């Protein structure tokens, strides 16, 4: 049985660590790590974390000590004063398939220490509130040897690094490999000259330009918007092929999943480019929000992650279209976080208990954590937010902090009492807000109620019947169970646009007619709500198609066509409006409305919806699929135009059997159009030749081949059967997390396929989770989340999913990671 770790049990560490000096003698099977830790006085009992380490020597102040480690670390009796502890251990990076600690990827050495990987490298107080400066010496035949901080000395076969900024062990990093750099320089606002390097395998150096450009823009933006400058003489990024997550913010040495660094127009879609920009920014921004100010314990993870996601979202909004970015972020939030909050894995933004912390790098901590900061900013205003952040950096630089510290900064900077607001951090679940309206004698009253007791900022604007805005956006503060807000002096009954910009992460229930939503889709001056009116209309239409077998309403088709064919609107916005609600989203909505979702009916209805839309837009599709003018560029304008073109191509393929998509595929000179056309062909059942051509063209490119695996499963009629065939493919390297996710992420994203009534989807995923768990528990645990929607479905499907979870729980040698996840989902 795993032990539960609780926030309530927090106690500070017994000792301070004044300095750490490490030497690595790298060898694949037997790496020697010598660690010299200078401890301050702290009593005679010392407990260090350590896992899977072969202890070779131990010295205290130079004198040999004998000690026997247990399964999780080392307990020692130490002098009751300051002292130096030296350990020598042996580890085997070549056999490390969990990709945590020191491991090998594509012949190079690299590390991943967040959250608790450092204890797989050496004995240490592996907790974020122990911060220390590090000196690292690396000895290896590898030509490039990197660690955190500034380079201090090097010679043939060795290099030394010095990190002057005290840091927790989870930010430690080391890389050694045969690498080449794409280099540049940056001068900070403080006049510091910084060498920037993106290290990749030889041959990949021509794919780093966009990541480098994103890095320089991030550095400038953080100076201009947050007043934060970089603080070392070098900033290194390394791309690795085997990585459990997106990237890692190690101090001065960010390590990236190569798919979030490497990009050429021929290999990466516009979405890939946008994600690279966002992740480069995210990791860079961590230098202040995460590294200079870190977390006291892992329960405070949202302190760094929520804030850093919020900052990267602001950055992307500034670099691209703020309106489009907001819509995309809310789409992700609803798809991932609302789903999580509605199921057995729901937890507060700041959890208060866990078995395995790696299971809490979740949509709730990251995305809802960012929403909570957005609400805080909306409530106090932009100017006060700026002052509060200045105070945060000034007061807490160099510290390991809590959410209480964070909120106190806002209270001190604004004089506001945030006791009630703090519930956003401690309560799980998506609040429901109900809006009712009344109109009498020129006064419009909006009554808001909630099912909890939170502070909820509800941004509202009013439009007159001609679509003119008669009241600009105002933020109403809902603090009670039920509150009424009056708007006087209106000439005619207005149409209310409620929760503008998605001002709070809630489920809004506002009884309103389809006509009213069509009106808002045509006229709302708030772009988010304009889009959301269309979305809620589409969801209602689709739900009625599923439940009652209705045909898609002419009202919806006309209202949508109006927007999609309006050449005066941003193409990116039109493309988003054209996107149909996802099948999983409809399943969740039906379940919440008390209807058991039938995956096959949902799938068929959504197809019929697309067919009807294609028919309605028939005359306009020719223009919409015209090539995007100008030389290729990754900017938001061109990306939006391509997105609209690809959406239209998907619809056109329903009318012409894929003829136009084949032409686009054959002529494509960029991956957005290649993938867009291939998807359209696969949907039209005409993708066999294109799929083969794609595979032949890209078989030597790992990152692109992930798309090849994903697309055929995503668009398959029988996804489990296609998946079962693809796992036999020689390029299915299941120990590579990207490839595993490309295949099994696609299987669980194919809603009708995963939920096939024969149970084949559930069975196949469970088989492979059990297999992966033995090699890589972290990724296995993350991928198991596919089962978290179990309770939505009919009794047969529920029983089959429950049986698979049970089978997982009974697997011999199951990891703590997967056991916690499967246990929570099995209930
Ligand atoms: N802190 C990183 C994400 C990350 C988290 C955990 C990891 O291993 C368990 C790796 C990376 C970020 O937010 O980008
Ligand atoms: Zn992060």
- What is the distance in A from the centroid of ligand 2 to the CA of 311? 10
Q: Which atom of ligand 1 is nearest to the CA of 304?
A: 13
How far apart, in whole angstroms, are the C-alpha atoms of residue 328 and residue 333? 9
- What is the distance in A from the centroid of ligand 1 to the CA of 743? 22
Ligand 1 mutation pick, 98, 248, 280, max ligand atoms within 8 A of CB: 248
> CA-CA distances (angstroms) from residue 673 to 72, 268, 408, 624, 763?
51, 10, 49, 14, 34
For 338, the token pair is 């609302």
- State residue 2's pLDDT score: 74
Contacts of 209 (CB under 8 A, 6+ apart): 182
User: Is pTM, for the whole model, over 0.90?
Assistant: yes
Helix (H) or strand (E) holding 554: helix 554-564
Q: Which ligand is nearest to the CA of 356?
A: 1
Q: Which ligand is nearest to the CA of 781?
A: 1
The DSSP bridge partners found for residue 193 are 187
Q: Whose CA is nearest to atom 8 of ligand 1?
A: 114
> CA-CA distances (angstroms) from residue 53 to 17, 85, 488, 813?
21, 16, 72, 20
Q: Which atom of ligand 1 is nearest to the CA of 243?
A: 10
- What is the distance in A from the centroid of ligand 2 to the CA of 286? 7
- What is the distance in A from the centroid of ligand 2 to the CA of 361? 9
Q: Which atom of ligand 1 is nearest to the CA of 283?
A: 14
Ligand 1 mutation pick, 98, 114, 291, max ligand atoms within 8 A of CB: 114
- State residue 826's pLDDT score: 98
Q: Whose CA is nearest to atom 7 of ligand 1?
A: 114
How far apart, in whole angstroms, are the C-alpha atoms of residue 777 and residue 710? 22
- Residue 98, Cβ neighbours under 10 Å: how many? 21
- Contact at 8 Å (CB) between 252 and 148? yes
- What is the distance in A from the centroid of ligand 1 to the CA of 295? 14
- State residue 363's pLDDT score: 98
Angle at 430 between CA 427 and CA 436, to 5 degrees: 120
Pocket-forming residues, ligand 1, beta carbon under 6 Å: 112, 114-115, 244-249, 282-283, 305, 358, 361, 778
| CA atoms lying within 13 Å on the CB side of residue 632 | 13
- Contact at 8 Å (CB) between 399 and 475? no
Helix (H) or strand (E) holding 620: helix 618-624
Residues of the chain with pLDDT under 50: none
Q: What would the 3-class secondary structure string for 714-747 be? A: HCCCCHHHHHHHHCCCCCCCCCCHHHHHHHHHHH
- What is the distance in A from the centroid of ligand 2 to the CA of 69? 33
Q: What is the DSSP string of 290-335?
A: TTTBEESSGGGHHHHHHHHHHHHHHHHHHHS-HHHHHHHHHHHIII
- State residue 1's pLDDT score: 56
Q: Whose CA is nearest to atom 10 of ligand 1?
A: 245
The DSSP bridge partners found for residue 132 are 167
747-759: pLDDT as tens digits: 999 999 999 999 9
- What is the distance in A from the centroid of ligand 1 to the CA of 113? 9
> CA-CA distances (angstroms) from residue 242 to 698, 757, 779?
19, 34, 11
- State residue 819's pLDDT score: 98
- What is the distance in A from the centroid of ligand 1 to the CA of 118? 14
Q: Whose CA is nearest to atom 5 of ligand 1?
A: 114
Q: Which ligand is nearest to the CA of 310?
A: 2
Q: Which atom of ligand 1 is nearest to the CA of 308?
A: 13
Catalytically active residues are: 283
- What is the distance in A from the centroid of ligand 1 to the CA of 305? 9
Q: Whose CA is nearest to atom 2 of ligand 1?
A: 248
For 796, the token pair is 């047969």
Angle at 673 between CA 668 and CA 675, to 5 degrees: 110
Q: Whose CA is nearest to atom 6 of ligand 1?
A: 114
Q: Whose CA is nearest to atom 3 of ligand 1?
A: 248
The DSSP bridge partners found for residue 74 are 48
Q: Whose CA is nearest to atom 1 of ligand 1?
A: 248
Ligand 1 mutation pick, 308, 361, 365, 366, max ligand atoms within 8 A of CB: 361
Q: Is 622 exposed, middle or buried (CB count within 10 Å of its CB: 0-12, 13-18, 19+)?
A: exposed
Q: Whose CA is nearest to atom 12 of ligand 1?
A: 248
Q: What would the 3-class secondary structure string for 437-494 be? A: EEEECCEEEEEEEECCCCCEEEEEEEECCCCCEEEEEEEEEECCCEEEEEECCCCCCC
Q: Which residue has the tokens 């689709």?
A: 542
Q: Which ligand is nearest to the CA of 303?
A: 2
3-state SS class at 63: strand
What burial letters (b/e) apply to 141-172, b meaning 16+ CB within 10 Å?
ebebbbbbbebeeeeeeebbbbbebbbbbbbb
Q: Which ligand is nearest to the CA of 111?
A: 1
Q: Respond yes or no on whether ipTM tops 0.95.
A: yes
Least Cα distance to 681 among 647, 655, 714, 657 occurs for 657
């Amino acid at each position: 049985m795993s032990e539960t770790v609780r926030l309530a049990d927090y106690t500070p560490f017994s000792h301070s660590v004044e300095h750490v000096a490490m030497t690595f003698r790298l060898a694949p099977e037997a790496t020697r790590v010598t660690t010299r830790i200078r401890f301050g006085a702290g009593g005679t009992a010392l407990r260090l974390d350590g896992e899977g380490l072969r202890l070779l020597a131990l010295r205290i102040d130079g004198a040999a000590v004998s000690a026997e480690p247990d399964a999780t670390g080392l307990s020692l009796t130490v002098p009751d004063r300051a002292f130096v502890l030296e350990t020598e251990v042996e580890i085997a990076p070549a056999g490390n398939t969990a990709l945590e600690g020191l491991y090998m990827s594509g012949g190079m050495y690299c590390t991943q220490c967040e959250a608790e990987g450092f204890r797989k490298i050496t004995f240490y107080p592996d907790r974020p509130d122990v911060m220390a400066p590090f000196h690292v010496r690396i000895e290896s035949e590898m030509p490039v040897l990197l660690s955190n901080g500034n380079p201090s000395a090097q010679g043939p076969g060795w290099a030394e690094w010095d990190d002057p900024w005290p840091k927790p062990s989870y930010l430690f990093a080391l890389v050694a490999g045969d690498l080449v750099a794409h280099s540049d320089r940056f001068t900070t606002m403080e006049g510091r000259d910084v060498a920037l390097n993106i290290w990749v395998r030889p041959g990949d150096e021509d794919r780093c330009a966009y990541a480098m450009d994103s890095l320089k823009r991030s550095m400038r933006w953080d100076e201009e918007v947050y007043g934060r400058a970089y603080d070392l003489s070098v900033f290194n990024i390394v791309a690795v092929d085997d990585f459990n997550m997106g990237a890692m913010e190690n101090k001065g040495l960010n390590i990236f999943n190569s798919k979030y660094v490497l990009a050429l127009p021929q290999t990466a879609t516009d979405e890939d480019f946008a994600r690279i920009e966002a992740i480069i920014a995210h990791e860079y921004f961590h230098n202040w929000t995460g590294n200079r100010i870190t977390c006291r314990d892992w329960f405070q993870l949202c302190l760094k992650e929520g804030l850093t996601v919020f900052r990267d979202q602001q950055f992307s909004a500034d670099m691209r279209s703020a309106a489009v970015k907001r819509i995309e972020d809310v789409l992700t939030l609803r798809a991932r976080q609302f789903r999580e909050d509605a199921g057995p894995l729901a937890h507060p933004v700041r959890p208060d208990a866990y078995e395995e912390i790696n299971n809490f790098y979740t949509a709730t901590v990251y995305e809802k954590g960012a929403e909570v900061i957005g609400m805080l900013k909306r409530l106090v205003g932009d100017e006060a937010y700026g002052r509060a952040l200045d105070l945060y950096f000034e007061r807490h630089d160099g510290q390991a902090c809590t959410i209480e510290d964070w909120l106190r900064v806002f209270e001190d900077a604004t004089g506001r009492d945030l006791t009630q607001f703090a519930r956003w951090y401690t309560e799980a679940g998506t609040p429901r807000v109900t809006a009712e309206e009344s109109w009498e004698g020129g006064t419009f009253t909006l009554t808001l109620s909630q099912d909890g007791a939170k502070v909820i900022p509800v941004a509202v604007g009013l439009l007159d019947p001609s679509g003119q805005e008669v009241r600009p956006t105002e933020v109403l503060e809902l603090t009670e169970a039920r509150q009424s807000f009056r708007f006087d002096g209106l000439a005619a009954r207005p149409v209310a646009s409620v929760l503008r910009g998605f001002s709070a992460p809630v489920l809004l229930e506002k009884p309103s007619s389809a006509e009213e939503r069509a009106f808002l889709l045509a006229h709302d001056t708030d772009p988010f709500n304009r889009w959301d009116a269309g979305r809620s209309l589409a969801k209602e239409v689709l739900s009625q198609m599923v439940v009652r077998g209705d045909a898609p309403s002419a009202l919806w088709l006309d209202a949508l066509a109006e927007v999609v064919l309006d050449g005066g609107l941003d193409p990116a916005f039109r493309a988003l409006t054209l996107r149909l609600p996802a099948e999983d989203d409809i399943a969740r909505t039906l379940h919440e409305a008390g209807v058991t979702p039938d995956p096959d009916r949902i799938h068929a209805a959504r197809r019929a919806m697309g067919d009807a839309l294609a028919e309605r837009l028939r005359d306009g599709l020719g223009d919409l699929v015209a090539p995007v003018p100008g030389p290729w560029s990754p900017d938001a304008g061109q990306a939006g135009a391509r997105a609209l073109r690809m959406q239209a191509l998907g619809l056109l393929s329903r009318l012409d059997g894929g003829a136009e998509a084949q032409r686009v595929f054959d002529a494509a000179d960029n991956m957005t159009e290649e993938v867009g056309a291939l998807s359209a062909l696969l949907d039209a059942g005409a993708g066999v030749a294109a799929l083969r051509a794609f595979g032949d063209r890209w078989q030597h490119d790992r990152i692109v081949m992930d798309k090849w695996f994903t697309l055929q499963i995503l668009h398959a009629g029988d996804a489990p059967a296609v998946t079962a065939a693809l796992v036999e493919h020689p390029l299915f390297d299941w120990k590579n997390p990207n490839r595993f996710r490309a295949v099994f992420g696609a299987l669980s994203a194919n809603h009708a396929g995963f939920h096939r009534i024969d149970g084949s989807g559930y069975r196949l995923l469970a088989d492979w989770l059990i297999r992966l768990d033995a090699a890589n528990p972290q990724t296995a645990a993350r991928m198991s989340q596919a089962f978290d929607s179990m309770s939505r479905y009919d009794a047969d499907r529920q029983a089959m999913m429950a049986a698979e979870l049970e089978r997982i729980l009974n697997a011999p040698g199951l990891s703590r990671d997967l056991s916690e996840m499967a246990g929570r989902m099995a209930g």
